[in-house]
Amino acid sequence: MVLEVNQAIVNESLQTEQVMEQLSSTVDVIVDNIEKYTNAARYGKGNNYALNNLRTAVQNQFPLVDWLLSTSLSQMIENAWQNGSLPTVTDEDGNVYLKAPLNVFTTPPKDTTGECCWLPFDIAACGGKAPINILCLKDCVDMLNHLLDRKLKVQSNDLIGFFKQAGQTYEEVRDFMNRESMAFYTANTIVNGQLDVTTPILKKFHGLMEILKRPEVFKMQGTNILAAFDSIGYRMDVLGGSFIFAAHPLTVASIKNAIRPNRYGILPDGWTINGESIFYKGAQVLPDKTVPVDVENGTGVIWQLSGESVGVFLGTTLRPAEDYIIRNQFTTTNDVNKGCATECDIYYNLGSVVTNNVARLAVITDVPLAAGINAYSLANLLDRVYVETLAP
């Protein structure tokens, strides 16, 4: 009898334990649903997402692109675009090309040996052409969220900061992110765009890289940095005019490391330093993260560019003007819960990078990075070296 009673107690205890486990699981599900549908947190009080900071600086400054857009060649193209006289040509496949401003020169003298008088020079001109490519960014949202985003506003305890400001509608937040994203993609594509290469951040585009990889562009190894600049310097003496050098910030740091002053405080011939900026024969060495670098192999590249012979055509600014944005493009769907439709905004630009004189361009390859710059020393930081997002 006692054994039966004890067994009954054990059975009841086991049943009670099972019931409590089921009840606990049910409570967990209820709490999870509360969190899912009300954004309530299980633990903590006074949640304030405004207490935040960016992990790294926003990558929305593009010094090389800014320089390219300001060159004399770019200004000629921009003026022609604004007054409706941009020179273009279309091939039999329908591809549209931009004709670069002409490079004017005089022909060699005619041989007048044995004659009394010279003959005047003839004027000649040559110019290149480059395909015009279209660039676009598409942002789509279902109809339900489209209607909500138009009305709901960011609150003071939201994830405010660079990308969100209190009081903005969520539609305005989306528009800001779209414009900043478009600027990032476009700037990177202007510099590194190629006609046969696409990546997560690059589209098919006749960019600066497409020009610099041409075989007729002068290239030399930069294993000895100072000797390489000496050779380039002689070309500058012959060509005349103004130039800049562009390189990744890590490559620029390596150049600084190589041009240290001697015991008398004198820099190597041709070099000057003004604050953080360095110059060779008056040409600035411009640091820009869009210029390639290879940390794994410890090398960088340096580009010599002339504003008289390279330029950029863009239909609008890096952050497209309103007349380059197609808004409220609707597509119907069968999802009743989402409003049976999707709304898209499409941000457009078009353009190309052109040159009319490759003799004024040069590339220094295999520039050794400073000894301390390597994959080990930059562990966990390579997403800041090879930047592929706005805020790594």
**pLDDT tens-place values along the chain, 392 residues long:** 444 544 554 455 545 556 456 655 654 554 455 445 445 445 556 788 998 999 889 999 999 999 999 999 999 999 999 999 999 999 999 999 999 888 898 999 999 999 999 999 999 888 889 999 999 999 999 999 999 999 999 999 998 899 999 999 999 999 999 999 999 999 999 999 999 999 999 999 999 999 999 999 999 999 999 999 999 999 999 999 999 999 999 999 999 999 999 899 999 999 999 999 999 999 999 999 999 999 999 999 999 999 999 999 999 999 999 999 999 999 998 988 888 999 999 999 999 999 999 999 999 999 999 999 988 899 889 999 999 999 99
43 found inside a domain: no
140 found inside a domain: yes
**89: domain range?**
63-385
Taking the model in full, what pTM does it have? Answer: 0.86
> Which amino acid is residue 327, in one-letter code?
R
- The C-alpha atoms of residue 50 and residue 346 are separated, in whole angstroms, by 30
300 found inside a domain: yes
| b/e per residue 288-314 (b: at least 16 CB within 10 A) | bbbbbbbbeebbbbbbbbbbbbbbbbb
Reading phi first (left if > 0) and then psi (alpha if -120 to 50, else beta), residue 145 is in alpha
What pLDDT sits at residue 34?
47
42 found inside a domain: no
Taking CA atoms, 341 is separated from 48, 137, 139, 143, 171, in Å, by: 34, 20, 14, 5, 17
Measured in degrees and rounded to the nearest 5, phi and psi for residue 212 equal -70, -20
Q: Please give the torsion angle defined by the CA atoms of residues 67, 72, 73 and 77, in that order, rounded to the nearest 10 degrees.
A: 100
Q: How many CB atoms lie within 10 A of CB 232?
A: 24
CB contact at 8 A, 391 and 54: yes
366 found inside a domain: yes
226 found inside a domain: yes
Both tokens of 381, joined, read: 């930081």
Please, what sign has the CA dihedral across residues 3, 6, 10, 12?
positive
- The C-alpha atoms of residue 236 and residue 243 are separated, in whole angstroms, by 8
305 found inside a domain: yes
What pLDDT sits at residue 338?
85
CB contact at 8 A, 91 and 97: yes
Residues whose CB falls within 8 Å of the CB of residue 343, separated by 6 or more in sequence, listed in order? 140, 141, 142, 143, 146, 328, 329, 330
What pLDDT sits at residue 339?
85
- The C-alpha atoms of residue 298 and residue 289 are separated, in whole angstroms, by 16
- The C-alpha atoms of residue 39 and residue 278 are separated, in whole angstroms, by 52
- The C-alpha atoms of residue 139 and residue 348 are separated, in whole angstroms, by 12
Q: What is the largest CA-CA distance in the chain?
A: 144
Helix (H) or strand (E) holding 307: none
CB contact at 8 A, 210 and 194: yes
Q: Residue 387's closest CA among 60, 164, 52, 138?
A: 60
What pLDDT sits at residue 240?
93
How many folded domains does the chain comprise?
1
The count of residues in the chain is 392
What pLDDT sits at residue 14?
47
What pLDDT sits at residue 43?
55
> Which amino acid is residue 295, in one-letter code?
V
Helix (H) or strand (E) holding 172: helix 170-192
**CA 234 and chain centroid, separation:** 33
Taking CA atoms, 11 is separated from 4, 25, 83, 156, in Å, by: 10, 21, 92, 56
321 found inside a domain: yes
What pLDDT sits at residue 127?
81
